[in-house]
Amino acid sequence: MQATRTHELQQHENRDDMTVWLSRNEVAQSLEAVDDTQQRIAFALGARCGCRSHEVPDVAPEDIVDTDDGTMLRVYSSN
């Protein structure tokens, strides 16, 4: 996988860690590198749907809905 470019990193204001944005290609490469289906789904929920790590275990098939705008993931509570 290609190294992350510095303009895609941002320091959190009140924390020591960083936020990183992956390109679509980097997300696809990461998903291809995962052998386990559950891990691939968990990573995709974060990378493609914006789920936080604590939200991923609560996602269920009934949370996936088809709308006029396409397939969507319903998230009922987010903190």
Whether residue 1 is predicted with pLDDT greater than 60 in this model: the reply is: no
Q: Could you tell me which residues come within 8 angstroms of residue 73 by beta carbon, excluding any fewer than 6 positions away?
A: 45, 49, 51, 59, 63, 64, 65
pLDDT tens per residue across span 44-77? 999 988 888 888 999 999 999 999 999 999 877 6
| For range 3-20, the mean pLDDT | 68
- Tokens 């275990």, residue? 57
d(CA 8, CA 19): 8
Backbone angles phi, psi at 16, to 5 degrees: -90, -10
